[in-house]
Amino acid sequence: MPLYTANLAAKLPHGFGLSGRSSSSLPNYAGFKCSFFFPSTHIHTSSPNRTYSSVSSSSSIMEDQKRVGPLVSGSESLSQELKVAVGAVQMACFLCQRVQSNLLKKNAQIQAKDDNSPVTVADWSVQAIISWILSKSFGSKNVSIVAEEDVQTLSKPGADRLLKAVVETVNECLGEAHRFGLENPERTLCSSEVLEAIGRCNSSGGSTGKFWTLDPVDGTLGFIRGDQYAIALALIEDGEVVLGVLGCPNYPMRKEWLCYHPRYHRIITKLSAATSDSWDKGCVIYAQKGSGEAWMQPLVHETKKLVWPNSAIPIQVSTIDDPALATFCEPVEKANSSHSFTAGLAHSVGLRNQPLRVYSMVKYAAIARGDAEIFMKFARAGYKEKIWDHAAGVVIIQEAGGVVTDARGRPLNFSKGMYLEGLDRGVIACAGASLHDKIIRAVDASWNSSCL
Ligand SMILES: Nc1ncnc2c1ncn2[C@@H]1O[C@H](COP(=O)(O)O)[C@@H](OP(=O)(O)O)[C@H]1O
Ligand SMILES: [Mg+2]
C-alpha cells in the first residue's frame, strides 16, 4: 500500500492557496442531554460588501435565537439538528487542527486508499466523533449516515498502530465535547466502539427519509499539505438538502487574511498552534433550507466554549455580476477538473481575474461569503461526483443568495444514493443568475469542441 509523508506531500506542486449568560437545554435523546448557551452580546462587524448592524448587549434569549438564524424558520427539531451539527463540526475542526499540526511537525505517515487518494488519522477520527455525537444526540436508530470512509483499512491485521492512534484521537477530542455544547462520554471509548461508530456510516442514501451525509476531511490533499480543507456535514430529507454545515479550519473570518501563500500558510501552521489569540483563523458556515440566511461563526479555540450564537454573522453572495470583475474558483488539481476547459470558458465570458485554485469545499464557502463569484468543476468523463462533496455547499450557497446547478442548469440530484447521478458535464455555482446564465451558455457553445 503506497504511503505519503506530510513533508513529501508538501513538496508537491501547488496552485494558489487561500493562502449574565442564559442557558437553554434541548430534550434528552436516548439518555444524552444536549445543552446550549446563549450569550448576551454579539460581535459588531463589517465586510466590504455590507455592514452588520450592532445588537444591544442586553438582548433576550429570543433575540439571540433570532441571530442564530435557524430558530426563526419554524422547525424546532431542525434547529436542534443544526445546533448539534454545528457543535459536532466545530469539534471536528478542533480535532483536525491538532492532527494537521502534528502531521506537519512530525513528518507523519499518511495511508493511501484503494483509489490511491490519501487518508489520515483525521478522516477516521472525524467520522467516528460525528457519528458518535449524532447517534447519542438523536438515538442511533434514528440516525442514518452516508460518509466517505469505511472501516476495512482500520480493521485489517497490522493496522493496530493506526487504530490505536484513531482511538486516542477520538477520546482526546470527545473528552472536550462539553466545550462544543455537547456532553462528554461517561468513559473513554474502546476500539470496537470507535470502529462501530465509523462503520455505522454505511447508509446508501436514497430518495425517501432522512439521512446525514459527511465528508470528514474534504480536500485531504490540502489537509496534508497544510493548506485548505473542509469538514462537510449535511442533512438530506426526501432527496432535498435541508441543512448544511461547512467547517473550514484554515479559512479565516477576515477577508484580508485570505491571501496566504500556501508555503507561508504551512510555516505559520508549524509555528503557531491555534489559540484564542488567533480566534479568527478558521470558520464554520451553516444554513438551513428555506431560511434565506446563511451564517458564519469563528472556530472555538482551546479553552473556549461554544456559546450560541458564537459571534455568528450573516453571510451573502457577492453582488458582482459583471464577468470582467468576477473571480472564479476551481480545484487545485487538474486531475479533478479541467483547467484548460475552464480557462476557455472564462475567456469566452470575459472573466479577467486569475482563477482562485482552492482545495475542497472551501470553494463553496468562498462563493457563499462573497469572496469569489463563480465555482466551476468539470471532472473527466466517467468520474461520478459523490453527494458528500457537494451537499453542504449547495444549501449554503443557495441560502446565501446564489445558484448551484449542473452544466445544463439542472439542480443537483441528491436522491439517488451516494452519487450525484445524472449530473450533466459539471458543477456550476454562481453568486447570481446573470453570471450563471452566461457560464451555462458558454459551456453549451464550447462543449463539443472540448476533449472532455
Ligand atoms: N478524478 C477526480 N475527479 C474529480 N473529483 C475527484 C477526483 N478524485 C477525487 N475527487 C474529489 O475531489 C475532492 C477534492 O476536491 P478538490 O479537488 O476540489 O479539492 C476529493 O475529496 P476528498 O479529498 O475528500 O477525497 C474527491 O472527492
Ligand atoms: Mg471530498
The domain spans of the chain are 3-315, 323-446
List of residues 6+ apart from 410 with CB closer than 8 A: 422, 424
Summarize pLDDT for 115-160 with one digit per residue, the tens.
656 678 999 999 999 999 999 999 999 999 999 999 998 998 888 9
Q: What is the CATH number of domain 323-446?
A: 3.40.190.80
Strands 210-218 and 230-237: antiparallel
Q: Check residues 23 and 164 and name the one with the higher pLDDT.
A: 164
Q: Check residues 2 and 229 and name the one with the higher pLDDT.
A: 229
Task: Give the model's pLDDT for residue 58.
Answer: 31
In this structure, which ligand is nearest to the CA of 378?
Answer: 1
Q: Check residues 100 and 372 and name the one with the higher pLDDT.
A: 372
Q: How many CB atoms lie within 10 A of CB 99?
A: 22
Q: Whose alpha carbon is nearest atom 24 of ligand 1? A: 218
Which superfamily does 3-315 belong to? Fructose-1,6-Bisphosphatase, subunit A, domain 1 (3.30.540.10)
Percent of the chain residues past pLDDT 90, beyond the cut? 63
Percent of the chain residues past pLDDT 70, beyond the cut? 74
pLDDT-wise least confident of 30-34, 234-238, 345-349: 30-34
Cβ–ligand 1 contact at 336 (below 6 Å): yes
Q: Whose alpha carbon is nearest atom 4 of ligand 1? A: 336
Cβ–ligand 1 contact at 264 (below 6 Å): no
Cα of 336 to ligand 2 centre, how many Å? 11
Atom of ligand 1 at shortest range from CA of 359: 19
pLDDT-wise least confident of 48-57, 212-221, 269-278, 373-382: 48-57
Structural contact between residues 372 and 327, judged by C-beta atoms closer than 8 angstroms: yes
Task: Give the model's pLDDT for residue 392.
Answer: 98
**Pure H helices in 54-205:** 61-68, 76-106, 121-138, 152-155, 160-174, 191-199
Cα of 250 to ligand 2 centre, how many Å? 16
Task: Give the model's pLDDT for residue 268.
Answer: 54
Terminus-to-terminus CA distance in the chain, angstroms? 31
Atom of ligand 1 at shortest range from CA of 361: 18
Task: Give the model's pLDDT for residue 440.
Answer: 96
Cα–Cα dist 434/154, whole Å: 48
Summarize pLDDT for 175-198 with one digit per residue, the tens.
999 999 998 999 999 999 999 999
Cβ–ligand 1 contact at 219 (below 6 Å): yes
Atom of ligand 1 at shortest range from CA of 386: 27
- Residue whose CB lies within 8 A of the most ligand 1 atoms, among 149, 333, 419, 420, for a mutation test: 333
Establish whether domains 3-315 and 323-446 are of one fold. Answer: no
For residue 194, give the nearest of 126, 96, 244 by alpha carbon. 126
User: What's the pLDDT band for 267 if we cut at 50, 70, 90?
Assistant: low
Cα of 73 to ligand 2 centre, how many Å? 29
Summarize pLDDT for 312-330 with one digit per residue, the tens.
999 999 999 999 999 999 9
Active-site positions read: 123, 220
Radius of gyration (C-alpha) of the chain in whole angstroms: 21
pLDDT-wise least confident of 134-138, 143-147, 211-215, 257-261: 257-261
Residue with cell 457563499: 368
Cα of 117 to ligand 1 centre, how many Å? 9
Task: Give the model's pLDDT for residue 447.
Answer: 84
